[in-house]
Amino acid sequence: GQNIDQPTEMTATEGAIVQINCTYQTSGFNGLFWYQQHAGEAPTFLSYNVLDGLEEKGRFSSFLSRSKGYSYLLLKELQMKDSASYLCATGDRGSTLGRLYFGRGTQLTVWP
């Protein structure tokens, strides 16, 4: 199984930068995903990391350190529409192929 931990809530102001951390413990790490979920809607895919380092995609970047079991999602130039829950999820190379394990999500509120 997996043990995924991320903060429950974060707040920031419009135009600022925010970093959402995720730590995990896994028996067979096979990549880390970040999803965005607005209230009452489907999660949407943001990023995927399987190798160490930073992946940049527009205003969003995701970082992974496999040796530390650590990832973060960096959101720049925050906008009101970025207010959402951000879910960290890991894949498992072990016996439970074909599934992801999700953290509880970090609720981000962006203030004007």
Partner 1 sequence: DGGITQSPKYLFRKEGQNVTLSCEQNLNHDAMYWYRQDPGQGLRLIYYSQIVNDFQKGDIAEGYSVSREKKESFPLTVTSAQKNPTAFYLCASSTDIVPGRGSPLHFGNGTRLTVT
What residues make contact with partner 1 under the rule CB under 8 A? 4, 8, 30-31, 33, 40-45, 48, 50, 87, 89-93, 97-100, 102-105
Residue nearer to partner 1 on the CB measure, 43 or 69: 43
CB-based contacts of 60, cutoff 8 Å, min separation 6: 46, 47, 73, 74, 75, 76
CB of 48 to partner 1, least distance (A): 5
Residue nearer to partner 1 on the CB measure, 6 or 78: 6
Transcribe 10-63 into DSSP letters: EEEETT--EEEEEEEEESSEEEEEEEEE-TTS--EEEEEE-SSEEEEETTEEEE
Residue nearer to partner 1 on the CB measure, 69 or 78: 69
CB of 86 to partner 1, least distance (A): 12
CB of 77 to partner 1, least distance (A): 24
- Name which of 2, 1, 20 is nearest 10 in CA terms: 20
